[in-house]
């Protein structure tokens, strides 16, 4: 599944005016492989971690704000960033065991590209209120981040 998501994301990039919601509000879960890669960048990240056991596997969570987040809204560990960061705006919800997509600008672009052929080529209607819900959720994120609308 991760390969499919990475393939989809190869057609997109964060817009230049990205507000780095992924680093500010995303719960960043990492596994041991991600943890080892990050330890090569920052030797002492243990103060920034919580851990939990899920299906026999230890999952680590980076506390908010991500310790690699810079004051310039950029990632200081970009080349070594965790898997969950590499597939953003997709997110794996381990509780429900499903992928979701977050409504940041790139996420909305991906969804728009999905909906466009649905309506123009297949002549299928958009799910009722889909775009309004996306716009509303984006506005909620902006408001929660103190940016207003």
Q: What's the gap between Cα 34 and its chain centre?
A: 15
Q: Which pLDDT band holds residue 147 (cuts at 50, 70, 90)?
A: low
Q: Any idea which residue has 């902006």 for tokens?
A: 142
The model's pTM? 0.69
pLDDT of 129: 67
Q: Tell me: the pLDDT tens digits for 53-89? A: 878 888 888 877 787 888 877 888 888 888 888 888 9
- Average predicted confidence (pLDDT) for the chain: 77
Query: What residues are paired with 91 via a beta bridge?
Result: 100
CA–CA dist 70, 33 (Å, integer): 23
pLDDT, one tens digit per residue, over 85-103 is 888 898 877 666 777 888 8
Q: Phi and psi (nearest 5°) for 126?
A: -70, 150
Percent of the chain with pLDDT over 90: 0
Is the per-residue pLDDT at 131 higher than 70?
no
């Amino acid at each position: 599944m991760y390969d499919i998501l990475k393939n989809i994301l190869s057609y997109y990039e964060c817009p230049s005016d990205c507000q780095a919601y992924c680093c500010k509000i995303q719960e960043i879960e990492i596994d041991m492989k991600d943890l080892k890669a990050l330890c090569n960048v920052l030797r002492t990240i243990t103060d920034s971690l919580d851990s939990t056991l899920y299906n026999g596997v230890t999952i680590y969570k980076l506390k908010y704000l991500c310790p690699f987040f810079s004051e310039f809204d950029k990632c200081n560990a970009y080349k070594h960033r965790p898997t969950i960061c590499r597939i953003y705006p997709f997110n794996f919800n381990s509780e429900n065991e499903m992928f979701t997509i977050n409504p940041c600008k790139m996420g909305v672009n991906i969804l728009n590209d999905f909906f466009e052929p649905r309506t123009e080529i297949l002549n299928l209607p958009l799910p009722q209120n889909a775009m309004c819900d996306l716009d509303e959720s984006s506005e909620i994120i902006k408001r929660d981040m103190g940016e207003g609308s």
